[in-house]
Amino acid sequence: MNANKIPDIIIGRLPVYLRALQHMQDMGLKTTSSQELGERVGISAAQIRKDISQFGEFGKQGTGYSIEYLIKQLREILKVDRIWDMVIVGAGDMGHAVANYQGFSDRGFSIVAIFDNDKSKVGQKIGQFTIEDSETMVNRIKSLDVKIAMLSVPASAAQAVADQLMQAGVRAILNYAPISLNVPNNVKVQYIDPSTHLQRMTYYL
Amino acid sequence: MNANKIPDIIIGRLPVYLRALQHMQDMGLKTTSSQELGERVGISAAQIRKDISQFGEFGKQGTGYSIEYLIKQLREILKVDRIWDMVIVGAGDMGHAVANYQGFSDRGFSIVAIFDNDKSKVGQKIGQFTIEDSETMVNRIKSLDVKIAMLSVPASAAQAVADQLMQAGVRAILNYAPISLNVPNNVKVQYIDPSTHLQRMTYYL
DNA sequence: TAGATTGTTAATCGATTAACAATC
DNA sequence: TAGATTGTTAATCGATTAACAATC
């Protein structure tokens, strides 16, 4: 990284570029251009070049970008050139769907544990995982040294669970609960709330 | 609405305000200020006042905003002062989780049909819904006059299904498939891809 | 009234786009 | 070489913040 402080809005676009590049690679393409990539993701070619050039000179004039090389660079930049362990908290319908989702492993993530506070669920299986008791969560996460959690508990419990997660050393939370979390700024939160996404579209209907 | 063209970035924050306000209302609060609301959602008070004032003068100097009134106004602005019918396409784990999600009804949405192209799933029940055949989808959506769809099919099928949905008159797609969709600009797409959200956080770890 | 808070203006800050020399 | 496309600069555009008169 040669630049010092990259705006978050740029960081947010890199995973979208990476996803599109991996898709192109799966289709057998070897090189691409800012033009072509831009059309695929709906972003201007100039912006893509500018975003990428924040981190180095990864392209070649006249020919564009090697897809394989650019993927490698983006994975390093985003720190997904490794596998991050994650936990899921909340084994409801959403927790089940997330636990069964097959798309994490080749994007840099691996689920290692699932917790729920419902004693009747503890011990049950989801795929190859056994649901663990929330009471043991903090110590378990500490011993596993996990930094990323997915939160699929009811909104009413989300903040309390988030506080526990942070106490256990978690630094990134993907929050499926429909509520804004209060966290210090060394902890990152991303929100997945289908209603919020839908309401952002109804305005235009 | 007294302003002409509201930036999309403002529209995107309104559902977050609305969610927080409804939460405050559930807690029994009657009024709030831009300061308090801002602390809850992590946005500056000035920005909240500016955003809201794009649409009218909904507050009172000295006392702030009536939560009930501001909720009513935001729901009107976002057009969720009504119930929007939606369909789900793809009855896998994610389709099941979304179909069973209880949070839509009091946010302005109602699921009316679920489709899958797997004949062995067609006819099966998810809650009170019966999975319908994708082959009948276009005509069924037309006759139901549905404008919003949630797409939970594999990435490889997503674009083709999206094309069908648009043909059926769908104008807003909540896309759970990890791929960028190509749509004309009278159709809105929102993306829910957990890996992309996670990769946006790993950069900071 | 005195205190609080809005709505709005102007200033600042940041992001996007257009254009093009460099060069593969 | 000629054509294509990058990386980068400068110009433009848009969003955020600070400040404060208005007023409840």
Task: Report residue B2's pLDDT band, with 50, 70 and 90 as the boundaries.
Answer: very low
At A84-130, the pLDDT tens digits run 999 999 999 999 999 999 999 999 999 999 999 999 999 999 999 99
Give the residue carrying structure tokens 């960028």. B180
Kindly state the helix (H) or strand (E) to which residue A104 belongs, with its residue range.
none
> Which of B61, B60, B70 has its CA nearest to residue B21?
B70
Tell me the backbone φ, ψ of residue B143, rounded to 5 degrees. -70, -30
pLDDT at residue B20 greater than cutoff 50 = yes
Map residue A167 onto helix, strand or coil.
helix
DSSP three-state, residue A120: coil
Nucleotide nearest B47, CA–C1', reads D16
pLDDT class for A47, splitting at 50, 70, 90? Answer: very high
Counting the structural domains of chain A, the total is 2
| Structural domain includes residue A3 | no
pLDDT greater than 80 at residue A1: no
In a shared domain, residues A106 and A20: no
The answer to whether B110 touches B93, Cβ cutoff 8 Å, is no
Cβ-based neighbours of B12, under 8 Å, separated by 6 or more: A200
Q: How far is CA A14 from CA A51, A73, B95, B174, B197, in A?
A: 8, 11, 27, 21, 11
Chain-wide mean pLDDT for chain B? 96
Kindly report, residue by residue over B130-177, the tens digit of the pLDDT.
999 999 999 999 999 999 999 999 999 999 999 999 999 999 999 999
Same domain, A66 and A88: no
> HSE on the CB side for A16, CA within 13 Å?
19
3-state secondary structure at position A150: strand
Amino acid at A85: D
Nearest alpha-carbon partner for A55 in A81, A78, A32:
A78
pLDDT of res. A46: 97
Chain A interface, mutation test: which of B84, B198, B204, B205, most A Cβ atoms within 10 Å? B198
The fraction of chain A above a pLDDT of 90, given in percent, is: 97
* pLDDT average, residue stretch B114-125: 98
Positions of strand C less than 7 angstroms from a protein CB = 2-9, 14-19, 21-24
Q: How far is the CA of A9 from the C1' of D3 (A)?
A: 34
Position A2 scores a pLDDT of 36
Give the Cα separation of A169 and A188 in Å (integer).
12
Chain B residue numbers touching A20 (CB-CB < 8 A): 180
Q: Name the token pair of A63.
A: 């020919």
E strands of A21-128, at which residues? 31-32, 59-60, 64-66, 84-89, 109-116, 125-126
What number of residues does chain A have? 205
Is the residue at B123 inside a domain? Answer: yes
Query: 3-class DSSP state for residue A117?
Result: coil
* Residue A20 placed within a domain: yes
pLDDT at position B4 is 66
pLDDT tens per residue, range B79-117: 999 999 999 999 999 999 999 999 999 999 999 999 999
Dist. CA B139–CA B55, nearest whole Å:
38
Q: Is A73 within 7 A of strand D by CB distance?
A: no
Cα separation, B160 vs B201, in Å, equals 31
Please indicate, yes or no, whether residues A94 and A24 belong to a single structural domain of this protein: no
Residues of B in contact with A103 (CB under 8 A): 178, 194-195
**What is the DSSP track for B152-198?**
-S-HHHHHHHHHHHHHTT--EEEE-SSS-----TTSEEEE--HHHHH
Q: Which of A36, A60, A77 is the last residue of a domain?
A: A77
Position B1 confidence tier, pLDDT thresholds 50, 70, 90: very low
Protein footprint on strand D: which nucleotides are under 7 Å from a CB? 2-9, 14-19, 21-24
Residues A95 and A187 placed together within one structural domain of the fold: yes
Q: Do A143 and A189 belong to one domain?
A: yes
Q: What is the model's pLDDT at position B3?
A: 40
pLDDT tens string A21-43:
999 999 999 999 999 999 999 99
Cα–Cα distance for residue pair A99/A110, rounded to 1 Å: 10
Rounded mean pLDDT of chain A?
Answer: 96
Q: What's the pLDDT tens digit per position in B61-75?
A: 999 999 999 999 999
* Same domain membership, residue B72 and residue B109: no
Structural domain span for residue B117: 84-197
Instruction: For residues A52-79, give the mean pLDDT.
Output: 97
CA–CA separation, A191 vs B196, rounded Å?
Answer: 12
What is the average per-residue pLDDT within A169-185? 97
Is residue A111 domain-resident?
Answer: yes
How far CA B79 is from CA of A198, B85, B109, B111, in Å, comes to 11, 13, 11, 17
Give residue B76's pLDDT: 98
Do residues A91 and A159 share a domain?
Answer: yes
Q: Say if residue A49 is in the same domain as residue A126.
A: no
d(CA A38, CA B67): 42
Domain harbouring B44, CATH code: 1.10.10.10
pLDDT at B203 over 50: yes
Contact B131, B123 (CB under 8 A): yes
Same domain, yes or no: B129 and B31: no
pLDDT of residue A4: 67
Q: Do A93 and B97 touch (CB under 8 A)?
A: yes
- The answer to whether position B3 is within a domain reads no
Are B156 and B115 part of one and the same domain? Answer: yes
Q: How many CB pairs (< 8 A) connect A and B? A: 188
CB contact under 8 A, B172 and A202: yes
Q: Does the residue B205 lie in any domain?
A: no
